[in-house]
Structure 1
Amino acid sequence: MSRPVPDEAIGALLEQIAEQLGAPVPAQLRAALRAVPRHLFLPSTLWLRDGKGGYEACDRAREPDRWWRAAYRDVPLVTQFTELPDGDLVPSSSASMPSMVVRMLMALGGRRGQRLLEIGTGTGFNAALLSYLFGAENVTSLDVDPGLIRRAEQALRASGQRPEVHCADGAGGWRPAAPYDAIIATCSVRTVPLPWLEQVVAGGRIVTPWDTAWCNYGTLVATKQADGTAEGALAPYGSFMLMRAQQADVELHRDLLRDGQHPERSTTRLSPWSVAGNDLDAQMYVGLHVPGAWHSWDTEAEGAHTRLWLADDQATSWASVDYDGRQTSTFAVAQYGARKLWDEVVRAYDQYVAADRPGIDRLRLRVSAEGRGTRHEVRLSA
């Protein structure tokens, strides 16, 4: 197969995006995607899913056809790994799925001439699209990783788009160019940083992927109110890497489980799969109502066929729910610490059922300043 011609490749990509959207890509965004070719922002080595839960390298020099096919498919592409203290490698930067980029730009709205702050420069692709749409002189983009900033600036120059780019922690916003008509993030957050709320104008919009410790899913589209708060709905799309400033370094076996602990034991009729299975609406509801609680599955647990572990990101409490491999009417529960995490999850799930199992698109967040941070209230739309 010969290397795709960019115009043909972009046309094919637009068709894939339209299929995901269920509608044609808006004309202005089609023009932006044609003016800002995605391949300019990708490194020579991409990391593609290997179908086994991991990644395999795709080098442009050795596999040019495969590299180009990946560049113009509607899929996210891992572009960088970071080594953890324990030696594990985890993705630390990626090129977002193009249809997700388009969804977020559609949610952003706005018009040329408005001032934009982007949190998470990454490859620079989204910053280039914003520059095309709003004017490069109106776009400021931040990333905490200096290596990513250097590569993004090179790609931006090659694309002809020159927004203002800075190496900085996006959690603090960028006060020198404030105020902004909108703030858009390409990383997820668990709380809206107070500087974002302060640096966007009344009537301005904040668009950011959302994350809870329980479930990484959804995108918040919020509008700044005249009283200084922001309010908006969660959209049913978006799964991005969590902002580094909000990541918690807590491990169950390293930080929580200790010899000599005496957990409270009980049983539950709520299946752990109801709250940690395939129902993303239930997971998101639980995540919003049981803040800081996360879970992991264990199929090699001593004394159980399958165990759901729960813990909090402050390393104060843990719980477990055991399936014995035979019956699903009751499950054994153990809880330890200041929080009774499984009890909190059960209460949240009961509320979810009582509210007629609301989809994520019925969840609204109201964000207000509180001390040096922000407070979030969850509401249900009709």
Structure 2
Amino acid sequence: MSTETDLEREAARLRAKLAQSLVDAGALADPAWRAAFENVPRHKCVPYFYDHAGRRIAADDPETCDQWLSTVHENRQLVTHRTDGSATSSSSMPSLMATMLEALQVTDGMRVLEVGAGTGYNAALLAHRLGAENVVTIDVSPDITGPARERLAATGQRPLVVTGDGAFGWPDRAPYDRIVVTCRLRAVPTDLLRQLSEDGFVLAPLGNALARIRRTGDHTAEGAFLPGGAFFMPLRHGADDGKPARRPALPETVGRATRLPAAAIAGNDFRFLVSIAVPGLTWQYDLDGERRPTGTRVWAPDGSIADLKADGTVTETGPRGLWSLLEGLYDTFLGADTPGPERYGVTINGDAQRVWLDSPGGEGWLLTR
């Protein structure tokens, strides 16, 4: 852009285009949220990001600034922070952000706590809709919250930005009518439930889908999952955690036939069940020319690893038979007529948290922190 005015004019045009695309896709229906997407300058919250090769694409780089501006206004997740080469923070896909914001079902004057400050863009959208005085956003790392605070100010919004472990919430401003978590959870932190208002709820990614969870008592809560997938980076409790486990050595045993194909692993519905029943897995895919999976490697933090090859054979090694475990889940998945996340719910009773299929008394899986 030749001048700052040209940049702002082009950014406004691209924001309007993005908002219209979200409306057309059915992700954005509430006029108040549409106004937020049209008016909050995402480019001021994302002055740079990293592409798939780890290259920095930035507003202040003459070679990449045009790519930066156009990409920031596309419906894409953007990696914005890396720790020792691993992605540890991002700006989510705008369509997913719109889905989550609408799922909050807010009305004027509600108080919202956001766990996972990221770039500050989501907090800016919340502040535009509800007023900055009603929004708190928290993140564990000052490397995240410091820039987020500055970028929020650049957008004209100044909600409270707190550095701390989001699992404990921020009781100083409680109770909250809504708590929205923008990082993946293995289980719902009970401190968050205790900071809800009487009619409030938590909206959070459990595994690979969103759950809306209402407090039903001092130590109890119930929730249901929304349709579709929701892929977020994990909640970090310290500034250096959240990185994926290093891949163990590949198995050297002779492969065996498997009833679980690579295509099933790539499907969101089955992957959701896996994310709940066997959390913390890391995946690598082999793709054909049409980007369909032909093989995969999957491993767990305990050192268990499985390797599915393009010929349909699999090898596994480590403390658990990881692929055998996944095959058993696939049998459950097929036997239940391939359920999507909307057929699952969650019950919290004290420290016990259980995700269940179709009814609280149905088949279920305990959540572990």
Q: Normalising TM by the smaller chain, what interval? A: 0.7 to 0.9
Name the residue aligned to 1:303: none
Report the count of equivalent residues: 343
Name the residue aligned to 2:46: 42
Q: 2:262 aligns with which of 273, 280, 305?
A: 273
Name the residue aligned to 2:67: 66
Deviation at 1:117, TM superposition (A): 0.7
Matched AA of 1:80: H
More deviation, 30-39/56-65: 56-65
Deviation at 1:168, TM superposition (A): 0.7
In angstroms, what is the RMSD of aligned CA positions? 3.1
TM-score, normalised relative to structure 1: 0.78
Show CA shifts across 1:92-113 (max 9, x none).
2222222221111001112122
Show CA shifts across 1:142-166 (max 9, x none).
0112122222222222322221111
Preserved CA contact (<8 Å) 2:12 2:39: no
Name the residue aligned to 1:169: 165
Preserved CA contact (<8 Å) 1:16 1:73: no
Unaligned 5+ residue runs, structure 2? 288-293, 363-369
Deviation at 1:184, TM superposition (A): 0.5
Name the residue aligned to 1:352: 333
Whole-Å Cα distance in 2 between the matches of residues 123 and 25 of structure 1? 24
C-alpha distance 332-193 of structure 1, shift in aligned 2 (>3 A): same
Whole-Å Cα distance in 2 between the matches of residues 247 and 46 of structure 1? 19
Larger Rg: 1
Preserved CA contact (<8 Å) 1:295 1:309: yes
Show CA shifts across 1:106-132 (max 9, x none).
011121222211111121111111122
Show CA shifts across 1:335-381 (max 9, x none).
543x44333322221111111111222222223331xxx52322226
More deviation, 219-228/234-243: 219-228
Deviation at 1:274, TM superposition (A): 5.3
Show CA shifts across 1:321-342 (max 9, x none).
55483xx5xx4554543x4433
C-alpha distance 356-206 of structure 1, shift in aligned 2 (>3 A): same
Identity %: 29
Whole-Å Cα distance in 2 between the matches of residues 146 and 321 of structure 1? 38
Show CA shifts across 1:178-207 (max 9, x none).
221111112111211121122223431211
Report matched runs for 1:212-291 at 5 Å.
Answer: 217-226=208-217, 228-245=220-237, 247=242, 250-253=245-248, 267-273=256-262, 275-276=264-265, 278-291=266-279
Secondary structure at the aligned position of 1:253 is classed as coil
C-alpha distance 379-152 of structure 1, shift in aligned 2 (>3 A): same
Show CA shifts across 1:52-88 (max 9, x none).
x4243323231443332223222222222221xxxxx
Secondary structure at the aligned position of 1:92 is classed as strand
Preserved CA contact (<8 Å) 2:184 2:205: yes
Matched AA of 2:248: H
C-alpha distance 9-198 of structure 1, shift in aligned 2 (>3 A): same
Report matched runs for 1:19-30 at 5 Å.
Answer: 19-21=24-26, 25-30=29-34
Show CA shifts across 1:302-331 (max 9, x none).
xxxx9755544344xx25355483xx5xx4
Deviation at 1:281, TM superposition (A): 0.9
Whole-Å Cα distance in 1 between the matches of residues 314 and 135 of structure 2? 54
Show CA shifts across 1:270-314 (max 9, x none).
1342552x2221121233233455555589xxxxxx975554434
C-alpha distance 31-321 of structure 1, shift in aligned 2 (>3 A): closer
Deviation at 1:238, TM superposition (A): 1.9
Preserved CA contact (<8 Å) 2:298 2:306: yes
Show CA shifts across 1:196-249 (max 9, x none).
1222234312112233xxxxx322222222462131214313211111238476
Report matched runs for 1:86-97 at 5 Å.
Answer: 89-97=85-93
More deviation, 56-65/125-134: 56-65
Name the residue aligned to 2:55: 56
